Chains A and B, each alone.
Chain A
C-alpha cells in the first residue's frame, strides 16, 4: 500500500473532529474522499501532513510510520499536499511560487520541471512573472497543484480541486489529474462533487461527521444509491 491511515483522531481545541478515520491508497491509484461541507475531509488531509497539532493514530506512507513527524519531513518523504484554500503566495510571482515548492528529484516518483508543468497548465506558462495575488481563482488552483508537483511527490492529497471553478476550468482540472495519474502519481482527492470524482477516481470513501461510513470502488458506490443519497448532497 502507498498510504495507510488507521484510527486517526483529531481535535481542534476542545472539539473532537475525526473519529477513528481509516483508509488506504494503492500504488498509482486515485481515491476519492467524498463528503459534505464540514464532514472532516480537510481535517483528514491536514492531519495526515501534520498540520493539526492534536492528532493520534497511525499513518504509514510507503511502509514508513510518519504519524509523529513534523510537516516538512512528511512532505519530503514524497507526500504532497494541495490545500483547499489554495494559499498561493500572493506577493510572489508564478515562478517564485513554483520555486518554493521545488524539492530534489525522487527515484520512485515522476520528475516535474517548470517546462513540464507549463505544458500541463498552459495558462501558467503565459504569466510566469505575474504575482499570485493577481490571478483568477482557476489559475490559482492550477498554480497550487503545480507548486506541489515541484516537490516531485509520489502521492498527492488534493483538497477539493473543483471548488468554485467554472465548468471549463474543471474540465482542464480533470485532464491534469488524469495526466498526473498517467505519470504514476497516486492521488487522494477530496470532493463534494460526485460527478467530478467519478471522472477521475478508481475507488471512493465517504466521510460523514468525522467517520468513514463507506469504502469501495466507484461501481460499488453506484450500486448503493441509498448510501449515496444519505451522505452526499446532490
Chain B
C-alpha cells in the first residue's frame, strides 16, 4: 500500500512542472491564439540556463536565485521573440504561427548543443531539499514534497492574478474578443507581449525546477511539448484549473500506467486524451468555441484548373525530372526517389489541409502504416513487390477510416490534437508490440523485386507514382466531390444547409489522404529496405506540415514544390553542416515572415500583381491576409 502512495506522490511531483508549462501554453493560446510550439524550447532553455546559474552561484540563495533568474532571463528572450517575430504574424493563419514557432524550436535544439554540448547535464540538488523522508519503509524525496506543494501555490497565484488584477481582467477580456478590447483603448501589443512573457516565464520555471530531478538534455523540449499539448487539450484550452487537473491526471496515468499496464503505458495517456476529445471536445474545463475562425483557404483569387500552357509546363518539368538517371549517380537517384516519395506524402496532407481545411498533426501515422503494411506482407506473407505495393497502403486506408471517423467530428485545434493522439497511439503500438513489429529495431530486409531494384528504375517508379497521385488529387479538387469538400471547409453550417453530408465528405477526404500517404509509406519502406517506428513519429508528421505550409496552403498543389524544396534542403543541409536544424529553422522562420503565403502562393501573387499592374489600385490584393480576418 505504502508503495502505491509513494508512486502517487511521485506522480503529483511530476505534475508540478507539467502544470507550469501547460498553464503557460494555455494562457498564451487563450489571448494570442498562437499554438506556441516553441513552448517546449523555452522550457528547455530554462533548464539549461538554470543549470549554468546554479553551478556558478553558491549556497541556497544562489540556487533558488538562479532558478528564478533563469526563468526571468528566458521570459526576456520570449519578449524579444514576440516583438521581433510573432508581432509580424499575428494576422497570419493559425498554422503559420505554429510553423514559425516550430522553426524556432529547431533553431533552439541546435543552439543549446552549441552552447552546452551534447551530453546530459546533471544539476545540483536543491539546498534544504536534499534528503528523503521515510514513509512506511519507502523513500519520498523532500524535493518531491516541495513540488507537490508548489503546484497548488502557483495555481492560486495565477488565479489571483487573473481574477483580482486589472491585467488579469484585460487578459480574460482579450481571450474572448481582442478587437473589442482595442476599441476600449487597450494597447493589444503590450497586452500580448506581457501575456507571452508570463507564459514563457512559467515554461522556463517549469524547466528550471526540473534540474534537481532530471538530467538536462537537448531533446527534452519535444518530450514535454507533446505531453503539454495533451494536458492542455484534456484540461481545455485557455483554462488554468483545467491545466492543473489534467497535469495531475496525466502524471498519475504515467506513474501508475507503468505498473498496471506496462505494455501500453505510453498509449494510455493518448487513449485518455482521445476519449476526452470525443466525449467533450473542448476539454474537461474548457468552453466550446463560439465560431470557428477562418483558417486556411480564404483565397482572394479562386482556384482554377491549369490552363493548357501550364499543363504543358508541368509535363515538361516531369520529363526533365525523368531524365535524372541519364546523368546522376546512385546517391542522387536515391535522394530523388526520397523526394518523390515525400511529394506523395506532402500532397496527401495538402489535400486534407487545403481542400478539406483539416490540419492533421498526425499524418505520418498513415504513411507509417503503409510502410508497415509492406513489411507485414513482404516479410510474413512473402508476397511479391507488385502485390505488396497494391495491398500495403490498405493498412493506411484502414487506419485512416477508423481514426478519421472520430477525428472529423472535431475541427480546428482539437482536430489537430486528436489526429496527433491517434498517431501517437499507432507509434506506441509499433514501438511496444515487439513480437509483431520488432519494436525499436524495426523490420529489416525489405528489398524491391529485381524489376525495380536498380536506383534508376526505382526512381522512375517513385516519380511516376508521385505524378499520378498529384494529378489524381488535383482532378479530385475540381470534381463535384472536391466542390463539396471545399464547401464544408468554407462553411460547415452552410454546406449542411444545402444538403451536403459534411462529416461523410470530410471522412472520405481523410481516408483518401490517409491511403495516399500509405502509398508514399509503402514506397518508402522499399527505398530504405526497412521500417521503424520513426516512420510514423511526430517529427515526420511535422515535416509534412512544414512542406505543405512552405508550398502554400492556399494553393491547389503547392505542396509539390514545398516537399521538393524542404526535402532537398534538408538532405543537403545534413550533408553540409552539423547545424542543419539551426539553418533549417532559420529558413522556416524567414519564409513565414517574408513569404507568409508559401513559395507557390507568393509566385501566384506576383503573377497576379503583374497581370493587374496596369490599373493602379491593387492594394487590395497586397493585403489579402488582413481581409481574411
Given A14-B300, A53-B626, A100-B170, answer yes or no on A89-B620 (Cβ-Cβ < 8 Å): no
Chain A interfacial residues counted at CB < 8 A: 31
Are B185's CB and A72's CB within 8 A? yes
Partner among B181, B620, B627 whose Cβ is within 8 Å of the Cβ of A100: B181
Cross-chain contact A53 with B629 (CB below 8 angstroms): yes
| Chain B 185-224 near chain A by CB (<8 Å), digits 1 or 0 | 1111000000000000000000000000000000000000
Establish whether residues A49 and B169, one from each chain, have CB atoms under 8 Å apart when the complex forms.
no
Tell me if B183 counts as interface (CB < 8 A to partner A): yes
Is the Cβ of B182 less than 8 Å from the Cβ of A72?
yes
Q: Which stretch in B171-179, B331-339, B511-519 binds the other chain?
A: B171-179
How many residues of B are counted as interface, with CB atoms below 8 angstroms from the partner's CB atoms?
28
Q: How far is the CB of B426 from chain A (nearest CB, A)?
A: 37
Residues of A within 8 A of B620 (CB): 11, 13-14, 54
User: How many inter-chain residue pairs (CB < 8 Å) link A and B?
Assistant: 79
A86 to chain B, nearest CB (A): 9
Pairwise interchain contact A75-B180, C-beta atoms closer than 8 A: no
Q: How far is the CB of A104 from chain B (nearest CB, A)?
A: 10
With CB as the reference atom, state the residue of chain A lying closest to B168: A96
- State whether the Cβ of A194 lies closer than 8 Å to any Cβ in chain B: no
Docked Cα-Cα span, A53 to B90, in Å, equals 14
- Complex contacts, A76 vs chain B, CB 8 Å: 185
CA of A70 to CA of B180 in the docked complex: distance in angstroms? 13
Q: Which of B594-629 contact A (CB under 8 A)?
A: 619-620, 623-624, 626-629
The residue in chain A whose Cβ has the minimal distance to the Cβ of B621 is A14
Q: B182 and A70: CB pair below 8 A?
A: yes
Given known A14-B300, A72-B188, A89-B173, contact A53–B623 (CB-CB < 8 A): yes
Cα A84 to Cα B310 in complex, Å, equals 48
Contact between A83 and B623, CB atoms less than 8 A apart: no
Complex contact B184–A147 (CB within 8 A): yes
Q: Are A81 and B169 in contact (CB under 8 A)?
A: no
On whether A54 and B627 interact (CB within 8 A), knowing A13-B620, A75-B183, the answer reads yes
User: Hey, which chain A residues are within 8 Å of B179, CB to CB?
Assistant: 51, 71
Given A54-B626, A89-B177, A151:B185 Cβ within 8 A: yes
Contact of A89 among B172, B627, B629 (CB under 8 A): B172
Q: Does B166 contact A (CB under 8 A)?
A: yes
Distance between Cα atoms of A116 and B415 in the complex (Å):
48
A71 to B186, CA, bound (A): 9
- Beyond A13-B300, A13-B627, is A151–B184 a contact (Cβ under 8 Å)? yes
Contact of B186 among A90, A100, A148 (CB under 8 A): A100
A53 CB contacts on chain B under 8 angstroms: 623, 626-627, 629
* A75/B169 in contact, CB under 8 A: no
**Chain A residues, CB < 8 A from B623:** 53-54
Nearest Cβ in chain B — how far from A57, in angstroms? Answer: 14
Instruction: Check A83–B183 contact: CB distance below 8 A.
Output: yes
A7 to B485, CA, bound (A): 42
Contacts of A22 in B (CB 8 A): none
Within the complex, the shortest CB–CB distance from B152 to chain A, in Å, comes to 23
A92, B627: Cβ atoms under 8 Å?
no
Q: Report how far A76 CA is from B190 CA in the complex, Å.
A: 15
**Binary flags per residue of A76-114, CB closer than 8 Å to B gives 1, else 0:** 100001010001011110001101111100000000000
A 144-155 binary contact with B (CB < 8 Å = 1; else 0): 000110010000
A91/B176 in contact, CB under 8 A:
yes
Say yes or no: B187 contacts A92, CB within 8 Å: no
* A71-B169 in contact (CB<8A): no
Residue of A nearest to B287 (CB): A91
Bound Cα distance A51, B177 (Å): 13
Distance of A51 from chain B, by nearest CB (Å): 6
A51 contacts B183, C-beta separation under 8 Å: yes
Indicate which residue in A12, A90, A97, A103 contacts B185 across the interface (CB closer than 8 Å).
A103
- Are B173 and A92 in contact, CB atoms less than 8 angstroms apart? yes
Fill in one digit per residue for B487-525: 1 if any A CB lies within 8 Å of its CB, else 0: 000000000000000000000000000000000000000
Instruction: List B contacts of A73 (CB < 8 A).
Output: 187
CB distance from A77 to the nearest CB of B (A): 9
Interface positions of B from 284 to 300, Cβ below 8 Å from A = 287, 300
Closest residue of A by beta carbon distance from B91: A53
By the criterion CB–CB under 8 Å, are B176 and A89 in contact?
Answer: yes
List the A residue with the shortest CB-CB distance to B301.
Answer: A14
Point out the residue from A11, A91, A100 that lies within 8 Å of B184, measured CB to CB: A100
CA distance A103 to B184 in the complex (A): 9
Within 8 A of A (CB), among B279-334: 287, 300
- Minimum CB–CB distance from B505 to chain A (whole Å) comes to 26
CB contact under 8 A between A100 and B173, given known A72-B187, A75-B185, A151-B184: yes
A89 and B183 within 8 A (CB)? no
Q: A13-B628, A76-B185 are in contact. List 18 more A-B contacts (CB 8 A).
A: A11-B620, A11-B627, A13-B624, A14-B620, A53-B623, A70-B182, A72-B185, A72-B186, A75-B183, A87-B180, A89-B176, A89-B177, A92-B172, A96-B173, A100-B169, A103-B185, A151-B184, A151-B185
The 5 closest A-B pairs by CB, nearest first: A75-B185, A13-B627, A53-B626, A71-B182, A100-B173
Enumerate 12 A-B pairs (CB-CB under 8 Å) in ascending A order. Answer: A11-B627, A12-B627, A51-B182, A53-B627, A54-B620, A54-B623, A54-B627, A72-B186, A75-B184, A76-B185, A100-B186, A101-B184
